Amino acid sequence: MRFCFAGMLAIAALPLASTPNRMPAQSARQTPLQTTGQSSQQPPAQASAQPEAKGQVIFSRSTGEDGETVTQTGAAVAQPVIKQVKEPVVEDAERRALTFTDLDLDVHLRPAEQQIAVRALLTVRNDSKAALAQIPLQISSSLSWERIRAGDHDVAFTVATLNSDTDHTGQLHEAAVPLVEPLAPGETAKLDVSYSGAILQDAKRLLAVGTPGDVALHSDWDEVSAVFTGLRGFGNVVWYPVSSVPAILGDGARVFDEISRQKLRLSGARFRLRLANEFAAGQAPNVALVNGRSLALAVTDFSAGGEIAGVATADSGESVLGFEAPSLFVAGRNATSGTDMNLLVLPEDANAANAWTAAATAVAPFLQGWLGARPAEALTLLDLPDAHDAPFETGALLAIPIRPGPADQLQGVLAHAMSHAYLRAGPAPLPMWLDEGVANFMGTLWIEKQQGRDKALEWLESGRRALAIVEPASPGESAGEPIEHATSPVYYRTKAVFVLWMLRDMVGEPALSAALRGLEPTTAPHPGGRGGTERNGGAGNTSSNASSQLFEGLLEQADGQRDLKWFFSDWIDADRGLPDLAIEGVFPNSTAPDSSLVAVNVANNGYAGAEAALTVRSDLTSVTQRILIPARSKASRRILIQGKPIEVQLNDGSVPETQASVHVTKLTDAPATPNALK
């Protein structure tokens, strides 16, 4: 049964566990760069009687005279044995096997001490092909495991320290939880876990790879403090249990791949968080954000006396996680609003907020034209404590220093961020390639609107090079990453933007806009496409290409003419690499004194088909037509043009290729030899 705090007074009376080597209670915003020492993992002391309080305290934590943690669950019970081990007893295969399908968290913050205590009810599934004899659970090395229950009994377990830069301390505390019965493939297990500790700013991992101190501090700004609590989740601070493969910065892209893998494995998991936040006199928070969504805070004031002035509580209710790391923010901010946007601003930044609201007003009509009259929810801007803090985005939340800036720069930021707010509706979250891809697509379209198509294509080209490096040369060489289930940003951001640009050129803006407006995941049948959009239950699993099937059906319905199966097969359902286009021959033929019929032969040596722009230019004009070139195939087109033809161009940079994305052949009086210009 889920534990509860019987009365607010009971919560307020319970100090959190003290941790060895804890730094003095203060905000790192007012101190030099700090790094925390490794917290020691000591078994909790025998439970002792708690001060009398109204109601029954079913779960509590306090600090004994010897400085050790005292945990009470109902009547006093013997605590399990927690054994420290020097070497991990878990294999990477076991860590990869677990998928979290349910996280139900009770979080108790004591910001004056920079401490957090959590009790979590977890459901995990074995997604490997072998039975698991133990379950690995990891938290930040600044936190200490206190108790783990499996079924209705406490479990003795071991704890090892792992080096992993997926947490800002550079280490994780891994509990290996033995099972009475092995967990069979596909089966689930429920665990009841408790842990606590201090979360301070810690830039140890970035300093270790040579990052300048000020940059490291403003990148790893996660902390619990009296003035600001910001916990961005896995990849920044592991404040909730995970099961991950250790990864170190500098070892290629392993850290970022592991961050994405964890987000993908959590996608579809049920999530709930109950918050209790103690505060001192004059420091009551009025902002609580969980996974990017604002929660209503209930504040109880005990200012008549005592160690604390009051407690603020909130409940997120049940939700389904998307491709995201669970996050928690608690702060005091002044609220103001703009067009489709809510701003939570520090008092000293009130004037700067006007520039942001003006930028939102400028961008809103553009987004409404593409995505609909109103967003599914307003974008929330949370003012970060320091002007140099790195921005953070999750869902319809953008945590960023709200400072003055050039209008075009603020508009570009909001064109991306506000797009997320349009795509948050529906009973299930969209996959990342649509959520993040559409936001980046809108950002490039805003560049095109403000600076022209050439500037937008320059932006696309800057990303194409990285995409070409990771894409397989052929499907037989590597499976690559189908973007429907991609975990690498170069796929779900860069490639997704190219996919949307190509679709715009193929079906037109009205059809693409209509399809984007209809992107609301549902279990109902969709028009056209390749079947239903139902989801398989549980985290990390969706029916094959469900969202892309919905999207394809909406596009075909809006366009009314095209069969897009070939495109979705080559670009979304599978990763067939990139096209490799070429002009093989150009043959102009004068049909009249002032016109010519130009025959153009083109080829695609890649394994993904493409529809590209084919342009013939003369001394008087130019004519552009689109030509479909299937994978490993050739195609021809005859174009009639006025004047003397002087140049033929295949692709304008909107179709990503393995090498050059613009091919130009200059014409002479004789048939030209093709020449691809990079």
Each residue's pLDDT tens digit, 31-47: 333 333 333 333 333 33
Task: Tell me which fold the domain 8-332 belongs to.
Answer: Immunoglobulin-like (2.60.40)
Q: What pLDDT shows up at residue 519?
A: 79
Q: Where are the extended beta strands (E) located within 88-187?
A: 98-110, 115-126, 132-140, 143-150, 153-154, 157-163, 171-183
What is the length of the chain?
678
CA distance 279 to 12: 9
Q: What pLDDT shows up at residue 535?
A: 31
The number of beta carbons lying within 10 Å of the beta carbon of residue 605 is 16
Comparing 8-332 with 581-666, is the CATH topology the same?
Answer: yes
Phi, psi at 541, each rounded to 5°: -130, 130
**pTM score:** 0.82
Q: What pLDDT shows up at residue 428?
A: 64
Which of 237, 44, 225, 223 is CA-nearest to residue 144? 44
Instruction: Tell which wins on pLDDT, 58 or 235.
Output: 235
- List helix spans (H) across 53-203: 92-97
Residues 98, 184 contacting (CB under 8 angstroms)? no
Q: Which two tokens stand for residue 432?
A: 């990342």
What would the pLDDT profile of 427-467 be if each residue is shown by its tens digit?
Answer: 567 788 998 999 999 999 999 999 999 999 999 999 999 99
Q: What pLDDT shows up at residue 630?
A: 97
Cβ contacts of residue 167 below 8 Å, gap of 6+?
Answer: 140, 141, 205, 234, 236, 237, 238
Cβ contacts of residue 372 below 8 Å, gap of 6+?
Answer: 422, 517
Res. 94 pLDDT band, cuts 50 70 90: very high
CA distance 134 to 178: 4
Q: What pLDDT shows up at residue 259?
A: 95
Each domain of the chain, given as residue ranges in start order, spans: 8-332, 335-422, 432-573, 581-666
Please provide the CATH number assigned to the domain covering 581-666: 2.60.40.10
Res. 18 pLDDT band, cuts 50 70 90: very low
Instruction: State the DSSP string of 395-456.
Output: TTEEEE------HHHHHHHHHHHHHHHHT--SSSPPPHHHHHHHHHHHHHHHHHHHH-HHHH
Please provide the CATH number assigned to the domain covering 432-573: 1.10.390
* Radius of gyration, alpha carbons of the chain: 28
Which amino acid is located at 174 in the chain?
E
Residues 108, 118 contacting (CB under 8 angstroms)? yes
Which of 650, 596, 637 is CA-nearest to residue 620? 596
Please, what CATH class does the domain formed by 335-422 belong to? Answer: alpha beta
Q: What pLDDT shows up at residue 546?
A: 65
Q: Which two tokens stand for residue 470?
A: 């990771």
Q: What pLDDT shows up at residue 586?
A: 96
Q: Which two tokens stand for residue 267?
A: 């996608």
What would the pLDDT profile of 524-580 be if each residue is shown by its tens digit?
Answer: 333 333 333 333 334 444 433 567 788 899 999 998 888 999 999 999 999 999 999
Q: What pLDDT shows up at residue 427?
A: 58
Residues 667, 645 contacting (CB under 8 angstroms)? yes
